[in-house]
Structure 1
Amino acid sequence: MENTQQQIIRTEYSEIMQKSYIDYAMSVIVSRALPDVRDGLKPVQRRTLYDMYELGIRYDRPYRKCARIVGDTMGKYHPHGDSSIYEALVVMAQEFKKGLPLVDGHGNFGSIEGDGAAAMRYTEARLQKVTQEAFLADLDKNVVPFVPNFDETEKEPEVLPVRLPNLLVNGADGIAVGMVTSIPPHNLGEVIDAVIATIKNSNITTEELMQYIQGPDFPTGGIVVNKDELTDIYKTGMGKIRIRGKVDVEKGKNGKESLVISEIPYTMIGANIGKFLNDVAALVETKKTTDIVDISNQSSKDGIRIVLELRKNADTNNLINMLYKKTRLEDTFSVNMLAVSDGRPETLGLKKIIEHHIDFQFEVNTRKYQTLLEKEQAKREIQEGLIKACDVIDLIIEILRGSKSREQAKECLVNGVTEGIRFKSRTSKKQAEQLHFTDAQATAILEMRLYKLIGLEIAALQKEHDETVKNIARYEDLLNNYGSMAKQIIKELQSLKKEYAVPRKTVVENGEEAVYEEKKLEEMEVVFLMDRFGYARTVDAQTYERNKETADAESRYVIPCMNTDKICLFTDTGSQHLIRVLDVPFGKFRDKGKPIDNFCNYSSAREAIVYVESLQRVKMSLFVFGTAQGMVKQVEGSEFDVAKRTIAATKLQEGDRLISVHRMDEAETAVFKTEHDICLRIRIGDIPLKKKGAIGVRGIRLGEGDRVEAMYYPDGEKDKTILYKEKEIRLDRLKVAGRDTKGTKLRG
């Protein structure tokens, strides 16, 4: 009998407990309770969907028993009990819990009022179309890494190649060890718009993202009433969202009214609907209100409908406020956007989640197109071999007939070895020695069928080869060009949005708006007036017409516009500031107004205004920009129609400043006037059209220490003459010269 040595390790019991508990906690966090930021799925959800995909339970095939799905998933991938798998399957099929259901359930899958699903042996399921197309497509193209399952008898995907930001669309909830995740669902169309905006502008801020994503979009609808707090919640990934149910007042018989609750807070799903009804009954019983006569829950598969019948002349507004305050008709949804990122739990803000999704999309698409490229390259090699073989087919037939074995024929095709092969002539032998097919090409030639030599088949082969070459060029472009890959991802996202986006269900507003209905803004014509001290105001168009002479004399800028429009300020620092006309004081003609600094990021201490115009006119026009260093360009006004309050209207070189912004109308030439009294007149047609982010081109060649002082456009009604040494100089008589020349000295 062999002697076996046993070693006893002495250690502190508390250390063993601590290490074991940490291992257990991390296992729960990463492998069970928290979703992965890339596909927004927990392991049990991912494994269930993958198993359905493997079983072929597609959206266009018959339903299969849930018991079969659960058993197969448990046996192959998730050995943690059938109840957790079935519960995950049920939740993925419930439209009132998921913004985008991933499973198509058939049978009793529970109700919004908390009724449980039927046993798995009774219910059936299959994949939804969106799940198949956006969650499980391309798994055969090596898009994600596969890892061994628990007993290393199967392979399972580490993550699903989800093409849309599922973590935001469907949200998530889970209780791990020492941490909780709670992510609200969002509107698919809005989230896709935000992802596309982030791909186009990686420096986008959370505030700018909020222009695309209004806030959560719960499947149960309702009203989010703390809109102003959402930005901070999405920045930090933590906070509380206040939700209210939707209450309508319906007229009944004899002047009586009823309150009808048609949408409930997301947190009221399940047993809390019954609790709400009990709470309302308690308010009546405790005489907190005497306005409610009867309560009935008329909800059905068509939706929620809870009716509170009121007595005659009941104070409906007061009663609605009471329901919000005393029951769960107004509730809070605690947000903690915790997900597994790079193998560890992390609380993520909105932008971070979107960035993770974009990085994942680039990774998945790179792997996909790399696999497709390799397949097409292998196909091209075979096609080129067959095309080449068709040109020398008589020689190849001669080699085959003269060879004693397949290996001998292949050796001749690959390396030109002719020993042991009978040829009809020495010429044939010499030609055979020149053959240099690849191994794969030679194999394809040897396996080629005779019907492939038909003329139409050869033409089809050539056509297929041309298609393969095109595919290779496209795949190489996608893999080597960030912009091309970004366009492809955006195209796929837009396609998903077009097919699967639905209108928003949840209203997002501030609490006051839930009680008092705002009057719709009446659109009207106004005139924006700003004096030389920077004080701005608006007056209605009739008031301006009555005081036109005084207004024009006292105001530095007079801009006719609509009260719904915006005013664009272009400054010498190259910035464009946007002011909402509604923010500018509207009143009597003699009102002083307020400093323009109060309405935008413009600072009179740091920058000087170069040009002011309404956004409506700006975006429909073409502009010439000129700088002190003589740089010029044309820019389309539509580029300045942006959501941000302040943007860089042009790019300036170091030490340069913007001196002129001119809207193109009848002007055909532009005149530069420098500090050293040099003038140059050039054709505007010689100034190229550029993007707002471009520096431009040189308009005038400046002498040492000289700078452009002003620009004039003498073809219009203004700028015909300038005063130089008390003498009028006619600018429209200056000789037109080429761009980027020196100009001529003015003579008094």
Structure 2
Amino acid sequence: MSDVMETERQPLRVFAEKAYLDYSMYVVLDRALPHVTDGLKPVQRRIVYAMSELGLSSTSKHKKSARTVGDVIGKFHPHGDTSVYEAMVTMAQPFAYRYPLVDGQGNWGSQDDPKSFAAMRYTESRLAPYAQSLLAELDQGTADWVPNFDGTMNEPKLLPARMPNVLVNGTMGIAVGMATDIPPHNLRELAQACLHLLKHPNAQIEKLCEFVPGPDYPTGCEIVSEPHDLLKIYQTGNGQVRARARWERDEDTGNIIIIALPHQVSPAKILEQIADQMRAKKLPLVEDLRDESDHENPTRLVIIPRSNRVDAEALMAHLYATTDLEKSFRVNLNMIGLDGRPKVKNLKEILTEWLDYRFATVTRRLNHRLQKVNDRLHILDALLIAFLNIDEVIRIIRYEEDPKAELMRTFALSEIQTEAILDLKLRHLQKLEEIKIKGEQAELAIERATLEELLGDDDKLKKLIGEEIKEDAKKYGDIRRCNINAKPPAQALEAADITPAEAVTVVLSKAGWIRAGKGHEIDPQSLSYKAGDEFLCAALGKTNQLLVLLDSKGRCYTLNARELPSARSQGEPVTTKLDLQDGARIISMMFGDNSERYVLGSDEGYGFYVGLGELQARNRAGKAVITVGKDSNALLPCLTRDPAKDRYALATAEGRLLVFPLSELPEMAKGKGNKLVTLKGEDRILAACVVPAGSSLTLLCGKRSLTLKPSDLEGYIGARASRGGHLPRGFQRVDSMSV
């Protein structure tokens, strides 16, 4: 009869819940989050320990990385070799780690592409000098040892870090339901904060932030966050850090040279972002880009302005706002504490817990050493007894059947002492050895007294810890790389500020085809038009100004002249760029400063004047400006330089001309306006024109023209909304008017 396998049955809900919780706890505690004590995740801790076991110290010869990876996955970390090697690479990259733990030889990636490192069979590695601060006390009884995954050997549960590495190098990770983003910091600053906290355990976070003003990224960028934002990060454990690239201007060439980028920003991506703006003609201030980075200058991006007159500060502010030259980094000081639980901690909690761990570590180290000293003194006592009674000892060893038991009985020795005597070599029986033993006893007695004094006095123990922190800060620390200068978020330049003021002529045909040409010397009449089409109007302006178009139904639209097709072509239909309403057509175009004023109106006899800036629309559909009746159309806009002195002339279908002071019209953003002239029956306005003081007015009627001098105009001057005077015979049907 075959054995029946016993099975356990449980609901899927219960099983799934337990399995997911087990997995979640594994990811949180054994993969993604660092520990406050040594600041390492398990894979990093195992890599560092495995390299130390292989003898790959900072003074040894480099060895193939594949050897380290093989040891790690074979002995301690049964996961994929790729993930282990990538973790190892990150610890070796000077642009990723503020104080690298691995010293690599070969291609270990670049800031341009951190993943471009060579395979582990090609690269070589050893531990960096700073790694010694994590490992130096490992063999001094300071670590708890746990079995590895298959129980064949032990590995340290935590490393006895001599510095608060969790903040020194920082880390990032995504667990289940939580994440961590810890920025790197300057080692010397952290050491100063720890020393202050040792002396003043009740110190406020504000005081600690005087020593640790902010993160210190390895790339040496500039931190521009406000001080209160940085303080909030260290008070709550959450926040954001804004960092900017650093740049300088070459005095000889005038070029802008970027010498440091924000953390984890690729130089190639920066160049691509700037080049995209240049290709889109949104950055004419820049003529060219170059990447001159090399081994001596890890970051050297050259931006060549179009001319020396370009404001470098304004240009860089624009690039900060539109590229990754300014970047915000999320900070989430989430880590596993001394209680084994993940928690977001503030600066004081982190340093206090690490100092507690350091206090316990140093206590264990001193106790371990004290035990060694006592053990050695115990043996030295036995050796001295042997030398003082050497003849009796020799006799017992030579003639007694059980010399070990006899020695223990005769001289009241312990078993360990007796073994030490029996293990003595003959050459150690000389007289000099007795002197050495007494000297060693004296030295060890002094050391024992010192150790017992340290272990019995917390103040002296704190002093020792402080001295060791100072020593390591001096040995491994360096000056701050990231300057902290609070600055407001960068603002992108307006299109008008970016675009150089180049002259441009925009031409529109009667069929609605639009184009633009450089300069103001273009003759629109001489341009080529499609069959059956002809010139309608033109506008002269500059490329840093926006073009405003007015349609027959009183709606205004805005276009960028830089985006219009060249005048060498026949242009494009304006309807491809604007959404005109049914039956509407573009009747005029306006260029100029936003402060310039135009008189607008409808042929049904109403109007007002308005600033050009009010006419700009943000979308293709434009915006309604003039209220026009169903069977009416908008008048051509007329520029007025001085509304207080200019006059407005109107010609109607009945053959009347009215001239009145423009000051009688209101200034409005949009609407119907005030009555311009009194119209009767089917009468309507045919043409309008602004007449500056002292100017003549020319009327065009078919092929005939009539010029009215200032004295002639006096007969047509009247009040606004009057009917005006009759024009001479033959000039009653006015097609257009001009000054």
State if a TM-score over 0.5 links the two structures. yes
Residues in 1 aligned to 2:63 and 2:175: alpha-carbon distance in whole angstroms? 32
Matching residue within 295, 303, 306 for 2:301: 306
Task: Say whether residues 1:282 and 2:300 are aligned partners.
Answer: no
Task: Say whether residues 1:320 and 2:296 are aligned partners.
Answer: no
Task: Say whether residues 1:151 and 2:145 are aligned partners.
Answer: no
Q: Superposition pairs for residues 223-622 of structure 1, below 5 Å?
A: 223-226=222-225, 227-253=227-253, 257-268=254-265, 270=266, 273-302=267-296, 303-312=298-307, 313-341=309-337, 342-403=339-400, 405=401, 407=402, 409-416=403-410, 435-511=411-487
Residues in 2 aligned to 1:15 and 1:2: alpha-carbon distance in whole angstroms? 31
Residues in 1 aligned to 2:202 and 2:357: alpha-carbon distance in whole angstroms? 18
Q: Superposition pairs for residues 24-39 of structure 1, below 5 Å?
A: 24-39=23-38
Residues in 2 aligned to 1:180 and 1:154: alpha-carbon distance in whole angstroms? 32
2:39–2:166: 8 Å Cα contact kept in structure 1?
yes
Residues in 2 aligned to 1:48 and 1:275: alpha-carbon distance in whole angstroms? 32
2:96–2:264: 8 Å Cα contact kept in structure 1?
no
Cα displacement string for residues 577-628 of structure 1 (whole angstroms, at most 9, x for unaligned residues): xxxxxxxxxxxxxxxxxxxxxxxxxxxxxxxxxxxxxxxxxxxxxxxxxxxx
Q: Superposition pairs for residues 67-146 of structure 1, below 5 Å?
A: 67-115=66-114, 116-131=116-131, 133-146=132-145
1:245–1:261: 8 Å Cα contact kept in structure 2?
yes
Q: CA deviation at 1:10?
A: 4.1
1:37–1:340: 8 Å Cα contact kept in structure 2?
yes
Q: 1:172 to 1:10 in 2, by over 3 A?
A: closer
Who wins on radius of gyration, i.e. which is larger? 2
Q: CA deviation at 1:412?
A: 2.7
Cα displacement string for residues 217-251 of structure 1 (whole angstroms, at most 9, x for unaligned residues): 10101111113311110111100001111121223
Q: CA deviation at 1:192?
A: 1.1
Q: 1:16 to 1:283 in 2, by over 3 A?
A: same
Residues in 2 aligned to 1:8 and 1:473: alpha-carbon distance in whole angstroms? 61
1:261–1:304: 8 Å Cα contact kept in structure 2?
yes
Q: CA deviation at 1:356?
A: 1.5
Residues in 2 aligned to 1:89 and 1:6: alpha-carbon distance in whole angstroms? 44
- Choose 463-472 or 383-392, whichever is displaced more: 383-392
Residues in 2 aligned to 1:19 and 1:513: alpha-carbon distance in whole angstroms? 47
1:225–1:514: 8 Å Cα contact kept in structure 2?
no
Q: CA deviation at 1:71?
A: 1.2
Residues in 1 aligned to 2:59 and 2:321: alpha-carbon distance in whole angstroms? 48
Cα displacement string for residues 117-142 of structure 1 (whole angstroms, at most 9, x for unaligned residues): 001110110111221x2111232222
Q: Which runs of 5+ in 1 are unaligned?
A: 417-434, 516-748
Q: 1:335 to 1:411 in 2, by over 3 A?
A: same
Q: 1:449 to 1:329 in 2, by over 3 A?
A: same
Q: CA deviation at 1:333?
A: 0.6
User: What is aligned with 1:173?
Assistant: 172
Question: What code does the residue aligned with 2:14 have?
Answer: E
Task: Say whether residues 1:65 and 2:64 are aligned partners.
Answer: yes
- 2:135 counterpart SS class: coil
Q: CA deviation at 1:274?
A: 2.4
- Choose 133-142 or 110-119, whichever is displaced more: 133-142
User: What is aligned with 2:184?
Assistant: 185
Q: 1:261 to 1:385 in 2, by over 3 A?
A: same
User: What is aligned with 1:582?
Assistant: none
Residues in 2 aligned to 1:478 and 1:40: alpha-carbon distance in whole angstroms? 27
2:407–2:413: 8 Å Cα contact kept in structure 1?
yes
Q: 1:7 to 1:166 in 2, by over 3 A?
A: closer
User: What is aligned with 2:656?
Assistant: none
Residues in 2 aligned to 1:98 and 1:40: alpha-carbon distance in whole angstroms? 13
2:259–2:301: 8 Å Cα contact kept in structure 1?
yes
- 1:335 counterpart SS class: strand
Q: CA deviation at 1:508?
A: 0.9
2:317–2:490: 8 Å Cα contact kept in structure 1?
no
Cα displacement string for residues 680-701 of structure 1 (whole angstroms, at most 9, x for unaligned residues): xxxxxxxxxxxxxxxxxxxxxx
- 1:365 counterpart SS class: helix
User: What is aligned with 1:689?
Assistant: none
Q: Superposition pairs for residues 12-51 of structure 1, below 5 Å?
A: 13-51=12-50
Question: What code does the residue aligned with 1:48 have?
Answer: I
Q: 1:410 to 1:242 in 2, by over 3 A?
A: same
Question: What code does the residue aligned with 2:100 have?
Answer: P
Q: CA deviation at 1:8?
A: 5.2
Residues in 2 aligned to 1:117 and 1:380: alpha-carbon distance in whole angstroms? 54
1:267–1:333: 8 Å Cα contact kept in structure 2?
no
Cα displacement string for residues 401-437 of structure 1 (whole angstroms, at most 9, x for unaligned residues): 442x2x2x33232223xxxxxxxxxxxxxxxxxx322
1:76–1:149: 8 Å Cα contact kept in structure 2?
yes
Residues in 1 aligned to 2:261 and 2:3: alpha-carbon distance in whole angstroms? 72
1:291–1:315: 8 Å Cα contact kept in structure 2?
no
User: What is aligned with 2:527?
Assistant: none
2:111–2:264: 8 Å Cα contact kept in structure 1?
no
Residues in 2 aligned to 1:71 and 1:286: alpha-carbon distance in whole angstroms? 50
Residues in 2 aligned to 1:163 and 1:479: alpha-carbon distance in whole angstroms? 18
Q: CA RMSD in A?
A: 1.9
Question: What code does the residue aligned with 2:127 have?
Answer: L
- 2:343 counterpart SS class: strand
Q: 1:401 to 1:148 in 2, by over 3 A?
A: closer
Quote the sequence identity (%): 38
Q: TM-score, normalised by structure 1?
A: 0.63
Q: 1:182 to 1:401 in 2, by over 3 A?
A: same
- Choose 445-454 or 105-114, whichever is displaced more: 445-454
Question: What code does the residue aligned with 2:262 have?
Answer: P
